[in-house]
Structures are given as C-alpha cells and as structure tokens.
C-alpha cells in the first residue's frame, strides 16, 4: 500500500520476530524490524544459548571426578569464571552478528530502537521520534523476569539478565524460585563449585511437571550438595560488608555473595501502547491471540513469550513462521501447541512430553503407568551415587503413549526423538515392537513390560 512505509513492522528481533520477518520478506513483503537491545532476543543473548554454555562448563567437575574410576589421574582441576564468561560473550557476539547478516540477506530493514504503538498502523521509534506506518504490525517483544515482591534489600537481587555477567563466580549463592530457570542455575553454580541454596515457596520444585520427576530431581540435587528449601520465601536481604545476609520466612538466615531471583517471567508489554490501540490481554497476562496469532485488532499480530502460550524458543519460532505463512504465503497455518517436548538442563537432565500422571488420570478413563529407576552404567565404575528415572503414561483404552518423562543424562536429546513418536500417536505396542539399542539408557523406554500402576474410572465417575 502506497501510504505505508512497510508491509510488515515487527517489534522485537528475538526468536519469533526474526523468523517472522525473514519468512515474510521471502514471500515478497517489505519488512522492518525494531530491536531495543540486541538482535537475537532472550534465547541468544541471555537465555537458552548462554545458559547451555554454562551448563556444559558446570558438568566438567563431575566428569573429572568420575574419570578416576575409569583409570584416569586428573590433576586438581581449576576453574576460571572470567575465561568462561569472555568466551561465552564472544560466541554470543558471533551469533548476534549472524542474525544481523540473515536479516540483511533477507532485505529486512533493522532499526536499532525501542518501538511503541501509536495507532493500529503507526509505530513510533523512541530513538529518533520517527513514525513508521505499516499495513501489518507483529508484536514479538518476549518476556521479562518478574522482579519479585518489594522486600527490604531487593536492590541487591540479580535476575537471569545479570547472572550471565557476574564479574566473579559467587562462592555462595541463594537462588529463589522453583521453575526451570531457578533449577538450572542451581545446578550450574553447584557444578562450578558454589555452595547453593535453592529457596522455593511451593511444596516442591518444578510445579507443573510430573510428581515422580519432581521428587527424583530434588533428591538428585540434594545428593549433589544443593540445599533445597521448599515452603519458604526470601523475606529480606541485608548487606554486611561484601556479603548478603538473606533472611527466609522461617527467620533463618543464609549469608552469601549473591542472591538471584528466578520466580517467573512476565510478558513484555509495559509502555507498548496496547491499551490505547485496543489490543486486549488474555487472563494469563499475555496478549490475547487466536490460533493464527491475530490480536483483537485485525492488522496487529503477536507471537512468542508476549502471548504467554508456551514460553519456549521453538514455539516462538514456529508461531512466527506460521504467521508469515498465513499472512504472506497464502497458507493459513495454525500452531499446534499440544505435545511440545521440553527439557530442563539440570544435573541430571530432564526431558518431558505430554501429560503428567496426574493430568492423565484426570483426562483419561483408563491410564497405565510404566516406570523404571536404575543406576546409569557410567556411574558404576565412577562410583557415583545417582539414578536415572523413566516413566511412560499410556491411555489404557487406545494404548497410545500420552506422556513420557525422563530424568538422566541426555534426557533433552532423548525426548526430542520420543517426541516424534508421541506426536505421531505411537502406542505402547509400537514402543515394545521397537528393537532396543544395547547398551544404552534409552533402551529402557522400549523394554518396560510391567505396569507399575493401572488406574480406571468406575462407571459412576
């Protein structure tokens, strides 16, 4: 349209925004994208990628310990946090540059500015005050760490935004939160040698995950020296020299070098101008969208964490891609949010897909549960006291596998492939008919024969 500067204006160059921009452009749309911080968004700059690099770093300590049982003599290993952070920063800069190159290659015009909505077709760039008119606007502004309740000393608390840039490794750290980010960082710091106290207000970590998995991981974390304190909150933080005295709700104190809160993330919508333009929010606080990511304003769409559907990078990417296919590719593409496989990069790792046991029992008339717990082979010579756990939930009527939960080495890798089978509707009989790969841990998934439990609803229910 002649009176528009762009066919599509994307706010936010993260996982969802970048994918939408480049696919829309490949269909011939004139696309602009605004980014107020760094191109790549949370995942690349201060989320999945730097976190996974820290996870890798943290796992060497266990490998050094385990090596002795396999005949290796390892000189006392020393860890240097500034080296890790500098190398990580270099890699993140490389990835950011690659993202920028991709946008350039796809003729997407990048505007390094915060952008806010002025009306349904106008975006204002705060860096210059310039206004841009676009036929369609896509909001892909992601999420932001919840700062936490206003307790005394909150100013001393860091979030996942700052944790990647600490000048030194904290000797002792309190992490408040029970979600995957809190759990992952507890394991990262423990692996790197910090003394870690995880404080969570609920009764067990990883709310929303299968109860067996939560319990198994909690006990593994304790076995690795992490203090897991559930049913409590941090109520105050007091500075004492270069230390932080952290007070908990039972009035106990923990003296540490750093306090990190990872108590959830909120859709990043502050000051965007949504209300004045008429973009409505859903009950969960994210932008309300339909299955094509269209908001309550016909030409404004939203994808990724800002919609608070499933806050994961591959989901944001899929939503961005589907939006571009729908609007510019002539292929209306709804996104299927069912059976999203996901991992927690704790130590040991966790991989899950589908229903938890509690959900399966609630939703299905008959549920068969298969589970196993075993010592991974590698732990035997290493003398490491650890166990892996696997669980399959099966619809007792159709035989379909409706949930798979794995705690153990490479669980994230395993669940990606189990995810294909589950998405295809594989049955327990299909799992059983698949020949085992021996000796692996994954073979347990196709050799679980005995039901641990079978639940059925009576006719009256």
Ligand X SMILES: Cc1cc2nc3c(=O)[nH]c(=O)nc-3n(C[C@H](O)[C@H](O)[C@H](O)COP(=O)(O)OP(=O)(O)OC[C@H]3O[C@@H](n4cnc5c(N)ncnc54)[C@H](O)[C@@H]3O)c2cc1C
Crossing angle of helices 81-105 and 15-26, in 10° steps, is 20
Nearer to ligand X, 37 or 455 (CB): 37
Q: How many residues bind ligand X (CB under 6 A)?
A: 36
Whole-number Å distance between alpha carbons of 427 and 404: 12
Considering the complex, what minimum distance in angstroms separates the CB of residue 145 from ligand X? 7
Nearer to ligand X, 282 or 381 (CB): 282
Is residue 438 annotated as part of the catalytic site, yes or no? yes
Considering the complex, what minimum distance in angstroms separates the CB of residue 312 from ligand X? 4
Length, in residues, of the chain? 461
Restricting to residues 150-179, name those near ligand X by CB under 6 A.
160
Considering the complex, what minimum distance in angstroms separates the CB of residue 458 from ligand X? 40
Q: Which of 141, 197, 326, 386 binds ligand X (CB under 6 A)?
A: 141
Contact code string over 259-278 relative to ligand X, x by CB under 6 A: ---------x---x------
Is there binding between residue 395 and ligand X (CB under 6 A)? no
- CB count within 10 Å of CB 83 equals 10
Whole-number Å distance between alpha carbons of 119 and 4: 13
Nearer to ligand X, 115 or 248 (CB): 115
Q: Which of 29, 31, 43, 256 binds ligand X (CB under 6 A)?
A: 43
Nearer to ligand X, 104 or 203 (CB): 104
In order of 56, 132, 154, 202, 372, the CA distances from 49 in angstroms are 11, 32, 27, 28, 31
Nearer to ligand X, 126 or 420 (CB): 126
At residue 61, the 3 state secondary structure works out as helix
In order of 157, 182, 200, the CA distances from 262 in angstroms are 10, 5, 10
Whole-number Å distance between alpha carbons of 181 and 177: 8
The conformation of residue 288, written as its DSSP 8-state character, comes to P
Considering the complex, what minimum distance in angstroms separates the CB of residue 140 from ligand X? 5
Considering the complex, what minimum distance in angstroms separates the CB of residue 161 from ligand X? 8
In degrees, to the nearest 5, what angle opens at C-alpha 225 toward C-alphas 250 and 443? 125
* Stretch binding ligand X (CB under 6 A), from 46-54, 57-65, 92-100, 440-448: 46-54
In order of 143, 236, 244, 254, 406, the CA distances from 230 in angstroms are 26, 17, 20, 15, 23
- Decide if 404 contacts 420 (C-beta within 8 A): no
Is there binding between residue 35 and ligand X (CB under 6 A)? yes
Is there binding between residue 56 and ligand X (CB under 6 A)? no
Q: Which of 142, 341, 348, 408 binds ligand X (CB under 6 A)?
A: 142
> Within 13 Å and on the Cβ side, how many CA atoms surround 94?
8
Q: Which of 176, 311, 333, 346 binds ligand X (CB under 6 A)?
A: 311
At residue 305, the 3 state secondary structure works out as helix
Is there binding between residue 244 and ligand X (CB under 6 A)? no
CA dihedral 231, 236, 242, 243 (to 10 degrees): -30
Whole-number Å distance between alpha carbons of 214 and 206: 6
Nearer to ligand X, 41 or 329 (CB): 41
Is there binding between residue 36 and ligand X (CB under 6 A)? yes
Is there binding between residue 14 and ligand X (CB under 6 A)? yes
Is there binding between residue 430 and ligand X (CB under 6 A)? no
Contact code string over 290-309 relative to ligand X, x by CB under 6 A: --------------xxx---
* Stretch binding ligand X (CB under 6 A), from 101-109, 135-143, 221-229, 375-383: 135-143
Please give the span between the terminal C-alpha atoms of the chain, in angstroms, as a whole number.
Answer: 59
- Decide if 343 contacts 350 (C-beta within 8 A): yes
Nearer to ligand X, 89 or 443 (CB): 89
Whole-number Å distance between alpha carbons of 96 and 35: 12
Nearer to ligand X, 34 or 445 (CB): 34
- Decide if 44 contacts 99 (C-beta within 8 A): yes
- Decide if 264 contacts 177 (C-beta within 8 A): yes
* Stretch binding ligand X (CB under 6 A), from 98-106, 134-142, 233-241, 417-425: 134-142
- Residues of the shown chain interacting with ligand X in the complex, contacts defined by CB under 6 A: 11-17, 34-37, 41-43, 47-48, 51, 114-116, 140-143, 160, 181, 268, 272, 304-306, 311-314, 316
Q: Which residues are catalytic?
A: 438
């Amino acid at each position: 349209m002649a009176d528009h500067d762009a066919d599509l204006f994307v706010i936010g160059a993260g996982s969802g925004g970048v994918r939408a921009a480049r696919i829309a452009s490949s269909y011939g749309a004139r696309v602009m994208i605004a980014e107020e911080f760094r191109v790549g968004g949370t995942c690349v700059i201060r989320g999945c990628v730097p976190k996974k690099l820290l996870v890798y770093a943290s796992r060497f300590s266990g490998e050094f310990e385990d090596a002795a049982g396999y005949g290796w003599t390892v000189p006392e290993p020393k860890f240097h946090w500034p080296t890790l952070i500098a190398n990580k920063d270099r890699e993140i800069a490389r990835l950011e540059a690659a993202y920028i190159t991709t946008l350039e290659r796809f003729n997407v015009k990048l505007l390094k500015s915060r952008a806010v909505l002025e009306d349904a077709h106008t975006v204002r760039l705060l860096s210059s005050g310039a206004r841009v008119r676009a036929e369609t606007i896509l909001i892909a502004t992601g999420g932001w760490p919840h700062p936490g309740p206003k307790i005394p000393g909150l100013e001393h608390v860091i979030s996942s935004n700052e944790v990647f840039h600490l000048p030194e490794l904290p000797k002792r750290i309190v992490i408040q939160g029970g979600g995957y980010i809190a759990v992952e960082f507890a394991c990262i710091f423990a692996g790197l040698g910090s003394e870690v106290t995880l404080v969570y207000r609920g009764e067990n970590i990883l709310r929303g995950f299968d109860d067996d998995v939560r319990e198994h991981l909690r006990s593994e974390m304790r076995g690795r020296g992490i203090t897991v304190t559930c049913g409590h909150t941090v109520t105050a933080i007091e500075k004492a020299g270069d230390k932080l005295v952290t007070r908990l709700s039972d009035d106990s104190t923990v003296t540490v070098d750093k306090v990190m809160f990872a108590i959830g993330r909120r859709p990043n919508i502050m000051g965007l101008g949504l209300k004045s333009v008429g973009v409505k929010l859903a009950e969960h606080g994210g932008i309300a969208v339909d299955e094509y990511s269209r908001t309550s304003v016909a030409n404004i769409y939203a994808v990724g964490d800002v919609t608070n559907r499933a806050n994961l990078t591959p989901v944001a990417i899929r939503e961005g891609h589907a939006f571009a296919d729908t609007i510019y590719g002539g292929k209306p593409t709804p996104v299927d949010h069912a059976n999203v496989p996901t991992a927690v990069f704790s130590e040991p790792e966790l991989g899950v897909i589908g229903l938890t046991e509690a959900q399966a029992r609630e939703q299905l008339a008959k549920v068969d549960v298969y589970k196993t717990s075993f010592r991974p082979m590698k732990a035997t010579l290493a003398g490491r006291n650890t166990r892996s756990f696997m669980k399959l939930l099966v619809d007792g009527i159709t035989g379909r596998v409706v949930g798979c939960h794995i705690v153990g080495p490479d669980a994230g890798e395993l669940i990606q492939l189990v995810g294909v089978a589950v998405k295809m509707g594989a049955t327990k009989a299909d799992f059983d008919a698949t020949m085992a790969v021996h000796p692996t841990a994954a073979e347990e998934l196709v050799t679980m024969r005995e039901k641990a439990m079978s639940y059925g609803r009576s006719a009256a229910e």
